[in-house]
């Protein structure tokens, strides 16, 4: 099997506990979405491939009339996940449509281009608010879950501040 980026997200979430495809998508949106998104269109095919490879096992977890399959990571899947975690290759890829818009904003009138910067600031502010809402006060998260959560908070705070600084700088220059 040739692992894809979504492979590691699915295996990592299943290493935490057994889940259905729907629960994996919910966990992605609730925990790692601020830096790693995955759609149903990526998750369900990946579950089928991982099961065919023997890295996970699925079992019927239906409730009433609703069909539901719950997946568990296998020892082989655990080995593969650990091998990836211990790997030395670190690939950082940033795909940011807002930043792409800013890159091409010189074709717009200045006020419209500055509006893109204001929208970016609002995006950071909304994500910061969302991340803060995830802290349910039930106690500490696992150490490295908390580490990544704090990265998200710091990144969004920096993003708001950066947009404010750049907006002031561009307005002074105009």
The pLDDT tens digits for 83-127 are 999 998 888 888 889 999 999 999 999 999 999 999 999 999 999
- Supply the pLDDT for residue 1: 85
Sign (positive/negative) of CA torsion 53, 57, 59, 62?
negative
Separation CA 34–CA 123 (nearest Å): 11
- Supply the pLDDT for residue 132: 93
- Supply the pLDDT for residue 59: 93
Average pLDDT along the chain, 174 residues, taken 10 residues at a time:
91 96 94 88 96 96 84 98 91 86 94 96 96 87 92 96 97 88
8 A C-beta contact, residue 138 and residue 89: no
- Supply the pLDDT for residue 19: 97
- Supply the pLDDT for residue 154: 97
């Amino acid at each position: 099997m040739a692992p894809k980026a979504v492979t590691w997200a699915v295996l990592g979430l299943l290493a935490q506990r057994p889940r259905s495809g729907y629960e994996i998508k919910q966990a992605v949106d609730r925990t790692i979405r601020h830096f790693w998104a995955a759609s149903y269109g990526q998750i369900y095919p990946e579950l089928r491939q991982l099961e065919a490879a023997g890295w996970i096992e699925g079992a019927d977890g239906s409730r009433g009339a609703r069909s539901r399959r719950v997946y568990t990571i296998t020892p082989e899947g655990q080995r593969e996940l650990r091998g990836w975690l211990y790997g030395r290759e670190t690939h950082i890829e940033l795909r940011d449509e807002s930043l792409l818009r800013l890159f091409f904003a010189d074709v717009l009138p200045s006020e419209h281009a500055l509006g893109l910067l204001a929208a970016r600031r609002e995006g950071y502010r909304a994500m910061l608010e969302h991340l803060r809402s995830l802290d349910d006060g039930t106690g500490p998260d696992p150490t490295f879950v908390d580490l990544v959560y704090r990265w998200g908070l710091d990144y969004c705070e920096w993003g708001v501040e950066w947009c404010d600084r750049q907006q002031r700088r561009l307005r002074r220059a105009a």
